[in-house]
Protein backbone atom coordinates (compact mmCIF):
# COMPACT_ATOMS: atom_id res chain seq x y z
CA UNK A 1 0.00 0.00 0.00
CA UNK A 2 1.40 3.38 -1.06
CA UNK A 3 0.68 6.70 0.64
CA UNK A 4 -1.27 9.09 -1.62
CA UNK A 5 0.55 12.08 -0.14
CA UNK A 6 4.23 11.13 0.02
CA UNK A 7 4.22 8.10 -2.35
CA UNK A 8 6.16 6.00 0.18
CA UNK A 9 4.98 2.54 1.26
CA UNK A 10 2.82 2.27 4.36
CA UNK A 11 3.93 -0.49 6.74
CA UNK A 12 1.69 -2.07 9.35
CA UNK A 13 0.19 0.46 11.75
CA UNK A 14 1.91 3.49 10.16
CA UNK A 15 -1.18 4.40 8.23
CA UNK A 16 -4.56 3.43 6.91
CA UNK A 17 -6.87 3.20 3.97
CA UNK A 18 -9.88 5.47 4.33
CA UNK A 19 -12.99 6.67 2.59
CA UNK A 20 -14.90 9.84 3.35
CA UNK A 21 -18.42 9.04 4.60
CA UNK A 22 -19.58 12.61 3.94
CA UNK A 23 -18.38 12.24 0.35
CA UNK A 24 -20.22 8.92 0.01
CA UNK A 25 -23.44 10.51 1.23
CA UNK A 26 -22.94 13.50 -1.09
CA UNK A 27 -22.35 11.21 -4.08
CA UNK A 28 -25.39 9.04 -3.26
CA UNK A 29 -27.47 12.22 -3.11
CA UNK A 30 -25.97 13.58 -6.33
CA UNK A 31 -26.58 10.28 -8.16
CA UNK A 32 -30.22 10.21 -7.04
CA UNK A 33 -30.60 13.85 -8.12
CA UNK A 34 -28.97 13.16 -11.52
CA UNK A 35 -31.38 10.27 -12.16
CA UNK A 36 -34.34 12.42 -11.05
CA UNK A 37 -33.35 15.16 -13.50
CA UNK A 38 -32.86 12.78 -16.42
CA UNK A 39 -35.88 10.55 -15.95
CA UNK A 40 -38.74 11.19 -18.35
CA UNK A 41 -41.84 11.88 -16.27
CA UNK A 42 -44.31 11.45 -19.15
CA UNK A 43 -42.72 8.40 -20.78
CA UNK A 44 -44.90 5.30 -21.33
CA UNK A 45 -41.90 3.29 -20.14
CA UNK A 46 -41.45 3.93 -16.39
CA UNK A 47 -37.96 5.11 -15.46
CA UNK A 48 -36.94 5.89 -19.05
CA UNK A 49 -33.91 8.14 -19.16
CA UNK A 50 -33.21 10.98 -21.57
CA UNK A 51 -29.75 12.51 -21.60
CA UNK A 52 -27.03 13.59 -23.99
CA UNK A 53 -23.38 12.55 -23.97
CA UNK A 54 -22.54 15.92 -22.42
CA UNK A 55 -24.88 15.17 -19.50
CA UNK A 56 -22.76 12.15 -18.64
CA UNK A 57 -19.91 14.49 -17.75
CA UNK A 58 -22.12 15.73 -14.92
CA UNK A 59 -22.61 12.21 -13.62
CA UNK A 60 -21.27 12.16 -10.04
CA UNK A 61 -17.93 10.47 -9.62
CA UNK A 62 -17.60 7.56 -7.28
CA UNK A 63 -15.78 8.07 -4.02
CA UNK A 64 -12.22 6.75 -3.98
CA UNK A 65 -10.41 4.96 -1.22
CA UNK A 66 -7.36 6.92 -0.09
CA UNK A 67 -4.23 5.63 1.59
CA UNK A 68 -2.23 7.80 3.97
CA UNK A 69 0.31 7.63 6.75
CA UNK A 70 -1.18 8.98 9.99
CA UNK A 71 1.08 12.01 9.59
CA UNK A 72 0.24 12.57 5.90
CA UNK A 73 -3.57 12.47 6.13
CA UNK A 74 -4.81 15.84 4.78
CA UNK A 75 -8.28 15.39 6.31
CA UNK A 76 -7.59 13.94 9.76
CA UNK A 77 -10.94 15.16 11.12
CA UNK A 78 -13.01 13.89 8.17
CA UNK A 79 -16.08 11.77 8.84
CA UNK A 80 -14.08 8.86 7.53
CA UNK A 81 -14.28 5.12 7.56
CA UNK A 82 -10.70 3.93 7.88
CA UNK A 83 -8.90 0.61 7.95
CA UNK A 84 -5.48 0.19 9.52
CA UNK A 85 -2.89 -0.79 6.92
CA UNK A 86 -1.88 -3.89 8.88
CA UNK A 87 -5.45 -5.22 8.71
CA UNK A 88 -5.39 -5.38 4.90
CA UNK A 89 -3.32 -8.23 3.56
CA UNK A 90 -5.23 -9.40 0.55
CA UNK A 91 -7.62 -7.96 -2.02
CA UNK A 92 -10.47 -10.31 -1.02
CA UNK A 93 -10.21 -8.89 2.49
CA UNK A 94 -10.32 -5.35 1.14
CA UNK A 95 -13.41 -6.14 -0.93
CA UNK A 96 -15.06 -7.52 2.21
CA UNK A 97 -14.22 -4.34 4.07
CA UNK A 98 -15.59 -2.25 1.19
CA UNK A 99 -18.91 -4.09 1.27
CA UNK A 100 -18.96 -3.66 5.04
CA UNK A 101 -18.38 0.08 4.83
CA UNK A 102 -21.07 0.57 2.18
CA UNK A 103 -23.47 -1.27 4.47
CA UNK A 104 -22.52 1.14 7.23
CA UNK A 105 -23.08 4.05 4.86
CA UNK A 106 -26.70 2.99 4.58
CA UNK A 107 -26.79 1.25 1.21
CA UNK A 108 -29.53 -1.33 0.89
CA UNK A 109 -28.28 -4.92 1.13
CA UNK A 110 -30.12 -8.12 0.32
CA UNK A 111 -30.43 -9.39 3.90
CA UNK A 112 -34.10 -10.40 3.64
CA UNK A 113 -33.53 -14.14 3.36
CA UNK A 114 -30.92 -14.17 6.11
CA UNK A 115 -33.08 -12.33 8.63
CA UNK A 116 -36.20 -14.40 7.92
CA UNK A 117 -34.15 -17.58 8.28
CA UNK A 118 -32.78 -16.22 11.55
CA UNK A 119 -36.25 -15.38 12.90
CA UNK A 120 -37.52 -18.83 11.91
CA UNK A 121 -34.64 -20.38 13.80
CA UNK A 122 -35.42 -18.11 16.75
CA UNK A 123 -39.07 -19.20 16.80
CA UNK A 124 -38.08 -22.85 16.66
CA UNK A 125 -35.68 -22.38 19.55
CA UNK A 126 -38.25 -20.59 21.76
CA UNK A 127 -41.11 -23.06 21.21
ZN1 LIG B 1 2.88 9.46 3.63
Residue 47: inside a domain: yes
Residue 46: inside a domain: yes
From ligand 1's centre to the CA of 14, what distance in Å? 9
Residue 5: inside a domain: no
What is the extent of the structural domain holding 85? 12-126
Assign 110 a pLDDT band (cuts: 50, 70, 90): very low
From ligand 1's centre to the CA of 8, what distance in Å? 6
Q: Which of 38, 41, 43, 64 is nearest to 53 (CA)?
A: 38
From ligand 1's centre to the CA of 69, what distance in Å? 4
From ligand 1's centre to the CA of 2, what distance in Å? 8
Residue 6: inside a domain: no
pTM above 0.75, yes or no: no
Residue 91: inside a domain: yes
Angle 3-102-21 from CA coordinates, rounded to 5° = 60
Total domain count, the chain: 1
What's residue 85's pLDDT? 82
What's residue 115's pLDDT? 38
Residue 4: inside a domain: no
Residue 88: inside a domain: yes
Amino acid sequence: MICDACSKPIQGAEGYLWIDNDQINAVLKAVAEWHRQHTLADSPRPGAKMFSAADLFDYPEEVKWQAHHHTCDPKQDANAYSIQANRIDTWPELLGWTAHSWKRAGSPTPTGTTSSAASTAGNAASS
